């Protein structure tokens, strides 16, 4: 009888073990698709991709062992009890099916996510969980992502089919091999119990080892996937579900709730020296009073933050296909900056930095939260001095907590999807760019008649999946990713043509910049320049046409514009007036990496992997990182100090 019970135990154990192997095969298939999606980025790469596949299987097995742990415990308990029922197979099958439906969602979603952000799926996606309608619209509305939705559906269907067939096969063998054993238990310790432990304990030990990923004191970390100098290959070996879980848990650890790049006091001292600030008691260590030389100019300002507008889309910066003739024309005609960078790679980062002069701290969204922090910036200063302050967005006002944050921090009026006709809604991110501009023009006509100057900020969306090219626009390009850039540029041109007919046009200062960049022309850097290199154009009557090569960023927009207006105020941010001050280099971040660059060098640091990457960008033929040297020390110090000082002011509430 004990032999037959042992046979039932092995049959029960076969279900999760077989399901584990098949899941590894399917995740391996997802990695093959990932490599296919990155084929253009890997052309000519000298390093072999085989280690990435091997490391990928390694990380997949780590995730699989976490899933397997629960079934192994259940099997052991059943084996000790010696009571077998067919429903036990169904429970194990259900667990494996539900768990891997979630895992496959991460591994498949990582393919387009990496293609867009250049980073493995991480906890930053939880920012989208508050907006299920927009997120669903993005996933299912973007045609280029349909294949990944299908891949996920096929993977889950195949896995469910396997579980069904495998379970039924085991049910037949369990039911007919020795039926009476399946109905009876044993209370005394016998050979069956010993055999059950003899099988279970080694499996449990292997499962724990698999969960840890390695022998030694510390379990496996993401740094284990890094084996070469190519960013795509290094991240290809990661499992997206592993990264998502780890970064989510890391966010909850107390030591990760604050940035720990360097000593806080040292960071503040360095930044004060670079910015030439003495600080103001009761405000912050970086505050200073800006005293104008004359009377302030009462000019209107329109700031246009363009979705995903990388500088590399423009012909001026090597963009192909003449996708942005309007922007290129404005760039030549206005005051423009060729070395201008976004503070991060998400829209909330761009708004936060541009309007209030604070850098984004990696993937954090400073605008969310029920306790709204207060900042001093472009809208607050101008509103206090009589300007009307208006914000126009395409989507719902609650997205990213924008309505609450913007109204708390200087904006009198916020116009959003709730204000637009339903028939104008293009997708789950609201109205198209050209309608946003059309609507804003009507409002600005009315506001201009009041005799007070206005600050209007417009946030576009069209260059963000799902791409919707309006039927009345006829692009030259064939690919939708290029067509939408043409459309976004055309919308700006149409806006400027209409604005030029307004009586208030000559009193305008127009500002155009990207909220962040996007993945273009990759070269294998840990953080590609196209994600953060964006255009910055100031255009208006009396503004001299000039291209400046100084390093600059979104945090410099507010002090530069207030300086042009000649407005006196208390400056309490990290920006400089680009017309009067100079940066030797620029710093920025992207989710889980931070970076700084100057004319010839690029420094990138990944705190999760505890790895730094140093590039000589003066030699475009050399893509590989080089060992850290003293030449990169100023860059590391610059980005570490600025972000640590920003963390200090934010945590202490010294942002107003």
Q: Are 204 and 75 in contact (CB under 8 A)?
A: no
From the CB of residue 141, how many other CB atoms can be counted at a distance below 10 Å?
Answer: 18
What is the rounded CA–CA span in Å between residue 104 and residue 650? Answer: 37
478: alpha, beta or left? (left if phi > 0; alpha if psi -120 to 50): alpha
The chain-wide mean pLDDT, for the chain, equals 88
End-to-end, the C-alpha distance of the chain in Å comes to 78
Task: Provide, rounded to the nearest whole percent, the portion of the chain with pLDDT above 90.
Answer: 61
pLDDT averaged over 10-residue windows placed end to end, the chain, 656 residues:
65 91 96 91 82 92 94 83 81 95 95 86 78 70 83 97 94 64 48 67 85 77 73 86 84 64 95 94 93 90 97 95 97 98 95 96 77 87 96 88 86 92 87 96 95 96 90 94 96 97 96 94 81 97 96 98 96 96 95 93 90 88 83 97 94 86
Q: What is the pLDDT of residue 622?
A: 66
Residue 5 pLDDT? 63
What's the chain's length in residues?
656
Tell me the per-residue pLDDT of 277-311, one tens digit each, with 9 for 90 and over: 999 998 999 999 999 888 889 999 999 999 999 99
Strand 335-341 relative to strand 546-553, pairing: parallel
Q: What are the sequence ranges of the domains in the chain?
A: 2-252, 306-582
Which CATH fold topology does 306-582 show?
Answer: Alkaline Phosphatase, subunit A (3.40.720)
Rounded to the nearest 5°, which phi and psi values hold at 226?
-80, 120
d(CA 425, CA 468): 11
Cα 382–chain centre separation: 31
- Rounded Cα–Cα distance for residues 410 and 392 (Å): 14
What is the sign, positive or negative, of the torsion defined by CA atoms of 601, 604, 605, 609? negative
Q: Select from 302, 333, 356 the least CA-distant residue to 513.
A: 302
The answer to whether the predicted template modeling score (pTM) of the entire model surpasses 0.95 is no
Q: What is the pLDDT of residue 3?
A: 54
Is the Cβ–Cβ distance between 305 and 459 less than 8 Å? yes
**What does the alpha-carbon distance between residue 576 and residue 587 come to, in Å, rounded to a whole number?**
13
- Tell me, what's the pLDDT at 656? 84
| 377 within 8 A of 411, measured Cβ to Cβ | no
With CA atoms as reference, report the closest residue to 489 among 303, 325, 302. 325
- Quote the pLDDT of residue 631: 96
The predicted structure's pLDDT at residue 225: 81
Residue 640 to residue 15: CA distance in whole angstroms: 50
581, 535 contact by CB (below 8 A): no
Q: What is the pLDDT of residue 216?
A: 66
Which residue has 């404005």 as its token pair? 330
């Amino acid at each position: 009888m004990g032999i037959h019970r042992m046979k039932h135990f092995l049959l029960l154990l076969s279900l999760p073990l077989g399901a584990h192997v098949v899941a590894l095969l399917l995740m391996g298939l997802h990695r093959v698709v990932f490599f296919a999606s990155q084929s253009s980025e890997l052309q000519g790469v000298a390093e072999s991709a085989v280690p990435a596949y091997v490391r990928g299987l390694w990380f997949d097995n780590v995730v699989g062992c976490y899933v397997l742990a629960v079934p192994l415990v259940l099997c052991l308990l059943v084996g000790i009890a010696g009571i077998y029922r067919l429903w036990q197979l169904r429970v194990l099958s259900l667990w494996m099916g539900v768990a891997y439906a979630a895992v496959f969602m991460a591994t498949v979603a990582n393919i387009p996510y990496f293609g867009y952000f250049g980073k493995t799926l991480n906890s930053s996606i939880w920012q989208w969980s508050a907006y299920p309608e927009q997120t669903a619209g993005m996933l299912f509305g973007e045609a280029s992502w349909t294949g990944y939705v299908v891949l996920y559906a096929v993977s889950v269907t195949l896995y469910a089919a396997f579980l069904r067939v495998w379970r039924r096969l085991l049910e037949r063998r369990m039911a007919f091999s020795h039926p009476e054993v399946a109905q009876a238990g044993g209370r005394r310790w016998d050979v069956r119990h010993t055999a059950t432990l003899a099988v279970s304990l080694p499996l449990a030990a292997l499962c724990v080892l698999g969960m840890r990923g390695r022998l030694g004191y510390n379990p496996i970390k993401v740094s284990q996937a890094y084996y070469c100098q190519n960013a795509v290959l290094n991240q290809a070996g990661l499992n997206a579900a592993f990264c998502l879980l780890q970064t989510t848990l890391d966010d909850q650890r107390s030591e990760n709730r604050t940035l720990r790049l360097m000593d806080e006091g040292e960071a503040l001292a360095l930044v004060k020296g670079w910015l030439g600030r003495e600080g103001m008691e009761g405000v912050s260590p970086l505050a200073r009073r800006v005293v104008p030389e004359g009377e302030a100019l009462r000019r209107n300002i329109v700031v246009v933050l363009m979705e995903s507008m990388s500088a590399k889309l423009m012909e001026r910066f090597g963009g192909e296909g003449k996708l942005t003739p309007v922007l290129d024309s404005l760039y030549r005609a206005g005051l423009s900056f060729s070395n201008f960078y976004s503070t991060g790679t998400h829209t909330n980062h761009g708004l936060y930095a541009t309007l209030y002069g604070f850098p984004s701290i990696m993937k954090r969204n400073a605008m969310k939260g029920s306790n709204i922090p207060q900042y001093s910036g472009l809208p607050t200063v101008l509103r206090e001095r009589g300007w009307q302050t208006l914000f126009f967005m395409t989507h719902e006002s609650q997205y990213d907590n924008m309505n609450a944050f913007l109204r708390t921090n200087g904006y009198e009026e916020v116009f959003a999807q709730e204000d637009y006709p339903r028939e104008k809604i293009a997708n789950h991110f609201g109205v198209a760019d050209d309608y946003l501009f059309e609507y804003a023009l009507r409002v600005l006509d009315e506001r201009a008649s009041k005799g007070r100057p206005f600050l209007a900020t417009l946030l576009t969306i069209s260059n963000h999946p799902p791409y919707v090219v309006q039927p009345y626009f006829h692009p030259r390009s064939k690919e939708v990713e290029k067509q939408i850039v043409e459309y976004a540029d055309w919308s700006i041109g149409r806006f400027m043509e209409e604005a030029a007919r307004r009586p208030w046009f000559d009193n305008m200062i127009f500002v155009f910049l990207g909220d962040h960049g996007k993945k273009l022309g990759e070269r294998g850097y840990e953080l590609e320049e196209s994600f953060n290199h964006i255009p910055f154009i100031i255009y208006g009557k009396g503004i001299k046409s000039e291209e400046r090569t100084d390093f600059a960023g979104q945090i410099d927009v507010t002090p530069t514009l207030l300086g042009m207006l000649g407005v006196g105020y208390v400056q309490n941010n990290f920006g400089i007036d680009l017309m009067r001050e100079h940066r030797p280099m620029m710093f920025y971040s992207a989710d889980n990496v931070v970076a700084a660059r100057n004319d010839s060098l690029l420094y990138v640091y990944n705190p999760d992997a505890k790895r730094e990457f140093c590039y000589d960008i003066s030699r475009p033929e050399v893509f590989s990182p080089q060992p850290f040297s003293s030449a990169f020390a100023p860059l590391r110090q610059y980005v570490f100090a600025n972000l640590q000082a920003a963390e200090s002011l934010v945590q202490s509430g010294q942002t107003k």
